[in-house]
Chain A
Amino acid sequence: MPTRTDLFLTYGKIGLIGFGGINAWARRVLVEEKRWLTEQEYAETLGLGQVLPGPNALNAAIMVGDRFHGAIGALLASCSMFGGPLIILMGLAVLYDSYGEVPLVKAVLAGVAAAAAGMVLGTAVKMAQKLKPTLALLAVGLCALAAAGFFRVPLPMVVLGLAPFGILASWYGARSK
């Protein structure tokens, strides 16, 4: 079990390396590097974070922090996850108007963005593989991918529309075991 300092430093790190969004990196650090959560536990926490309003990575951080250290843990995890990036963003806000169009900066950002996109995709494949979903659950996941990724259906509709089917698939899987 992580100490409070662990929790603070680890979420600080997740925030600072979180290129392309936090979730793929939080999974990498919490599940693969620190082993505080299993693949299934992380995915469930994130799933709940998606259904609740608010940034899902933040909701997940609050639940993970609360799980290990209660209210203090939730505060430490969420503040450290936001604090570092907020400071970076302040610097960027100042610099961007002067340097944003510098070709070298644009080239670095384009390269990092392309790699980060691949990182996020690779993470999704890895999770799907390790979670070993039933066929029905897999179908719900593919629907979420298609609706949000291809057809650009608004996210609240995707989440609330597919949640009943996910729960049905999960119930069916539990019953047939």
Chain B
Amino acid sequence: MTATIFWQLLLGFGAISLVSVGGGIAVLPEMHRLVVDVHGWMSDADFARRFALAQAAPGPNVLVVGLFGWHVGGILGMLTASAAMTVPTSLIAFGFSRLRARLLGRPWLRIIERGLVPIAVGLIAASGLILAQGAAESWVTAALTVISAIFVWRTDFSPLWVLGAGAIIGVLAL
């Protein structure tokens, strides 16, 4: 990895991370602009494939930046891009967490915190919906999604059971 690419990864993803309100995936269009349009590091299709791979893997979706970094700079590129995307905002979150501890119990803080709850839950539902649309390739996968949702909603068994079942049904039926 050249020094130029190192700085491009560091500054590019660092800047993007600072505007990623709502989550790392919120800035996917900006990432596309950086990686495909500005630097021409990969094609449109490569970008989409890497995003799909990061979605399929466990862990924070934002790790897709690691795959972009890998593509242009190998393992160092992966670490640079991941760090640029996570370290600055983590420091902000930590500072905020400290501030919150000092303000604990203030009625206005309680009201703000409670007011943000429906956005958090609504966005989880929205991400489930978007994942479901992407996963619905046939009636088998659509049925799998519905059954899995009901299982997780109505029971307290570990959702790992439905993931395992999903893998097996995938092999048998798809």
Q: Are A111 and B174 in contact (CB under 8 A)?
A: yes
Are A118 and B23 in contact, CB atoms less than 8 angstroms apart? no
User: Do residues A82 and B111 form an inter-chain contact, with CB atoms below 8 A?
Assistant: no
- The CA-CA distance from A107 to B97 in the complex, in Å, is 42
How many B residues touch the partner, as a band?
35 or more
Secondary structure class of chain B's binding surface, majority of residues: helix
- Min CB distance A147 to B, Å, is 8
Assess whether B115 is in contact with A59, with CB atoms less than 8 Å apart. Answer: no
Chain A residues within an 8 Å CB radius of B130: 148-149
Determine the residue in chain A with the shortest Cβ distance to B132.
A117
List of A residues within 8 angstroms of B107 by Cβ: 174
Give chain B residues whose Cβ lies under 8 Å from the Cβ of A169.
115, 118
B168 cross-chain contacts in A, Cβ below 8 A: 111
State A163–B96 Cα separation when bound (angstroms).
Answer: 17
Say yes or no: B131 contacts A120, CB within 8 Å: yes
The residue on B at minimum CB distance from A158 is B22
Given that A124-B124, A166-B117 are contacting pairs, would A18 and B58 also be in contact in the complex, using a CB cutoff of 8 Å?
Answer: yes
Whether A174 lies near B111 (C-beta < 8 A) is yes
Chain B positions 21-71 with a Cβ under 8 Å from a chain A Cβ: 21-26, 29, 49, 53-63, 66-67, 70
Which 5 A-B residue pairs are closest in the complex by CB-CB distance?
A: A111-B170, A85-B59, A54-B89, A118-B148, A144-B122
**Residues of A bordering B, CB below 8 Å:** 15-25, 28, 32, 40, 43-44, 46-59, 62-63, 66-67, 71, 74, 78, 81-82, 84-86, 88-90, 92-93, 96, 100, 104, 106-129, 131, 133, 137-138, 140-145, 147-150, 154-156, 158-160, 162-163, 166-171, 173-174
